[in-house]
Amino acid sequence: MSSIKIRSKRIDGNTQIRTLIAHPMEHGRNRDPMTNALIPAHFIQELIVKHNDKIVATCTMGASISKDPYFAFLLKGGEPGDKITISWVDNLGGQDVEEHLLK
């Protein structure tokens, strides 16, 4: 199952794109409560939003973004059947991608 969930909604002729990603977003300063060992940093560094294969947003982030990141954007216009693709890459080389068609 993909780590990315995408929802879209028409608002006044524009399209709101919301995404929720399952990711720990560890900043590397937390300790494991059981072993007291530092939990290594593990966070998304880059998130790319594409509209019909054209990049519309490139987001770079640090670990100051909350666990299980949520983002929302507003796309001008947007037609039913348009494809939204969201992908991320984290600091350990992990990545995921998900597609969504506007209704």
**Using CB under 8 A as the criterion, which residues of the chain lie in contact with other proteins when the complex forms?**
14, 18, 25-27, 29-30, 41, 45-46, 51, 54-67, 69-76, 89, 91-93
Q: How far is the CB of 61 from other proteins (least distance, A)?
A: 4
Three-state DSSP string of 25-45: CECCCCECCCCCCECCCECEE
Nearer to other proteins, 59 or 98 (CB): 59
Q: How far apart are CA 2 and CA 22, in angstroms?
A: 9
As beta bridge partners, residue 40 has: none
Query: What kind and span of H or E run contains 70?
Result: strand 70-75
- Smallest gap from Cβ 2 to other proteins, in A, equals 20
If you search the block for the tokens 């909350």, which residue do you land on? 66
Cβ proximity to other proteins, 26 vs 98, nearer residue: 26
Least distance to other proteins from the beta carbon of 54, Å? 7
